[in-house]
Structure 1
C-alpha cells in the first residue's frame, strides 16, 4: 500500500467518524502524507547513514535541507519513493566523502562566505518556488515564506559561526564537519530553487522511474514464464 493510499484511507475513516467536510478531510490527508513521508525519509537516512558510519552528519544535512525547503520550496521528484531516494543520496554520499578529508577552518570560512552570499541572493530572488499542484498565489504568503527562508538561512549562518569558534577553541575538527554538513544541506536546497536544479532533479527522477519500470517489467516476464 502506497503512502498516498494509506493517507487517503485514514482521512476517509476520520471523515466518517468525526463527520468532517471534504476540505478538512483533504487537509488531514495532506498532513498525514507529509508526516509519513518525512518519517520514512528520516528513517532511511538514519539507517543508510549508520551503515556508512555517518548517521549524525547525514541527518544534519537532511534536516538542514528539509527545514529550509519548508519555507523556500523547490524542485520535487514525481513520487515519494524517488524523493526519499534522492534525499538519502544527497545526505550520505557527500558527507561520506568529506568525512575522511582534512578540513581547514580558513577554507570553511571562505566557502561559507561564498555560499551564504549566493544563497541569500537566490532565495531573495526566487523563493518561494511552488509546484504546479500547489501554486502559491497570495502575496502575503509569498512574503511570509520568503522572510521565513531568509530567517532560517540566517540561523544556519549563526550556527556555523558558533561551530567554527568552538572548533578553534576546542581544537576539534568535528565542528567543522558539522558546518560542512549544513553547507551541503543549504547548497542542495538552494540549487533546487533554480531552473538548472529543476532540470537535474527531473533527470534523476526520470532515471529512477526507468529503473523501477524496467525491474517491474522483468518481474512480469518471469511470472509469465
Structure 2
C-alpha cells in the first residue's frame, strides 16, 4: 500500500512493522467504507440505529476473533451489508424475535463454544502472531463476547438486544469451516466451470 510505504520512508525505524502498519491502514479504510455504505442504505430504510449497533458489535468482536474472508473485498463488503441491513429490518419491523428468546440463548451458547474452540481465525495476519498472542486474542474474544451479550440487558440497549445477539451469532459463524466454504463457493464454481469448458 502506497500510504504504508510513505510512512516507512519518513519513519525508517518503523520498517520492521511495515506489515502491521499496512494491515492497520487496510482495516481502517475498509471499515470506513463499510460504515459509509451501511449508513447510505440504512438511512432511507429507517434502520440507522439498528444497523450501527449491529456493525459496531460485529466489528468489535471480529477485531479479536478474526474470521473467514471472501477472496474478493467487494463480495465480503456487500455480504456484510446484506446481513446488517437484513437483521436491522427484521428487528425494526417485526416482533417475531421475542417469541424465540430461548432459541437465541441456545444459539449464543453454541456461539461461545465455537469462539472458545476456534478463535482467533487469522488468515492474512496469521504470521504476525505467536501462540501466546493468539491465546490472548482468544481470551479477549471470549471477554468481548460476554460483555456484548450482557450489554443487551442494559437500559439504553435493551431495545437493541436482538441486534447485538444476532451480530454475535453471525460473527461466531464466520469462524467455522462451513462459512469458509460458503464464501469460497462462487470462486470454486467459476473455477470448476472454467476447467470444464476448457476440456
TM-score normalised over the length of structure 1: 0.74
Match of 1:81 in 2: 74
Match of 1:141 in 2: 133
**Structure 1 residue aligned with 2:55, among 56, 59, 62?**
62
Structure 1 CA distance for aligned equivalents of residues 11 and 176 of structure 2: 42
- Is residue 195 from structure 1 mapped to residue 188 from structure 2 by the alignment? no
Deviation at 1:17, TM superposition (A): 2.6
- Is residue 14 from structure 1 mapped to residue 7 from structure 2 by the alignment? yes
Superposition map of 1:131-210 within 5 A: 131=123, 133-135=124-126, 138-163=130-155, 175-176=158-159, 178-203=160-185, 206=187
Which has the larger Rg? 1
User: What are the ranges of 5 or more consecutive residues in structure 1 without an aligned counterpart?
Assistant: 1-7, 167-173, 211-225
Deviation at 1:89, TM superposition (A): 0.7
Match of 1:44 in 2: 37
Higher RCO (Cα < 8 Å, 6 or more apart): 2
How many equivalent residue pairs? 189
Deviations 1:164-190 (A, max 9, x none): xx7xxxxxxx844x1111122111111
- The DSSP-based 3-state class of the residue aligned with 1:99 is helix
The answer to whether the Cα contact below 8 Å between 1:65 and 1:189 also exists between their aligned partners in 2 is yes
**Structure 2 residue aligned with 1:25, among 18, 21, 24?**
18
Deviations 1:41-65 (A, max 9, x none): 1111111111211111111111111
The answer to whether the Cα contact below 8 Å between 1:115 and 1:183 also exists between their aligned partners in 2 is no
The answer to whether the Cα contact below 8 Å between 1:68 and 1:189 also exists between their aligned partners in 2 is yes
The answer to whether the Cα contact below 8 Å between 1:192 and 1:201 also exists between their aligned partners in 2 is no
Distance 1:15 1:99, change over 3 A: same
Match of 1:118 in 2: 110
User: What are the ranges of 5 or more consecutive residues in structure 2 without an aligned counterpart?
Assistant: 191-199
The answer to whether the Cα contact below 8 Å between 1:47 and 1:55 also exists between their aligned partners in 2 is no
The answer to whether the Cα contact below 8 Å between 2:54 and 2:84 also exists between their aligned partners in 1 is yes
